[in-house]
Amino acid sequence: QKEVEQNSGPLSVPEGAIASLNCTYSDRGSQSFFWYRQYSGKSPELIMFIYSNGDKEDGRFTAQLNKASQYVSLLIRDSQPSDSATYLCAVNIPRNYGQNFVFGPGTRLSVLP
Amino acid sequence: SQTIHQWPATLVQPVGSPLSLECTVEGTSNPNLYWYRQAAGRGLQLLFYSVGIGQISSEVPQNLSASRPQDRQFILSSKKLLLSDSGFYLCAWSLGSQPQHFGDGTRLSIL
């Protein structure tokens, strides 16, 4: 089982709809969770982070964390064509060896005008 | 505020030639530093990470190497490039368990 999993997509939604992106992780000790957006040909940029169970809202973005079910999601309300990008989920996994920050493979989102 | 600089932005190299990519971070001390590679349409592959000067951990065996000669400088090198080394190379920094922040990347093409 991979440490961080995401559907590769593409996920297509019409303009103005809610886009829902999901991420699951395998290590129950994971403590912090991040969402990055990567436009084609560009580097990833951090858009949200969440540490506690529940929802965290920032503008049109809402991150949702459920540690019992080991998933984190990102909702994008009123989706715009400019939201079309690949969204990367990242998890900080506490461990005594190796690198703690693990990225998922990303989900490609396409918002259709 | 912290900034990360990565250069060059694009690079075209022949097979068998050497490589040196440089990354520097400003505005912070003792950051964790990372080199990733991303093939077209694929996810991020962690190549190296460093928690301090001279401390380098390699995640995948390959013909690449990394060095950290100064606290905020991270260098990715190769003595002889292979066709399979083509890709988008990204440098990133973080503090402790805080999120990683990426440079603008270097697009490397091997001919």
* Mutation for testing the A interface, residue in B97, B101, B104, B108 having most A CBs under 10 Å: B97
Best B60, B102, B107 residue to mutate vs chain A (most A CBs within 10 Å)? B102
Residue type for position B51: V
pLDDT at residue B61, rounded to an integer: 64
B101 and A88 in contact by Cβ < 8 A?
no
Say what the pLDDT of residue A67 is: 93
Residue A41 C-alpha, separation from nearest chain B C-alpha, in angstroms = 8
Cβ contact, residue pair B57, A98, below 8 Å: yes
Give SS3 for B81.
Answer: coil
Q: Could you read off the pLDDT of B43-91 as tens digits, one per residue?
A: 899 999 999 998 998 887 678 999 999 999 999 999 999 999 999 999 9
- Across residues B19-47, what is the average pLDDT? 93
In which band, very low, low, confident or very high, does the pLDDT at B14 lie, cut at 50, 70 and 90? very high
With contact defined as beta carbons under 8 Å apart, do B46 and B93 qualify? no
pLDDT at A96 over 80: no
Distance CA A52, CA B100 (A): 19
Measured between CB atoms, which of A31, A43, A100 is closest to B90? A43
Predicted pLDDT at A31: 86
Strands A45-50 vs B44-52: parallel, antiparallel or unpaired: unpaired
Name the nearest CA neighbour of A53 among A78, A36, A28, A18: A28
Alpha-carbon span A81 to A1, nearest angstrom: 34
What would the pLDDT profile of A16-28 be if each residue is shown by its tens digit?
999 999 999 998 8
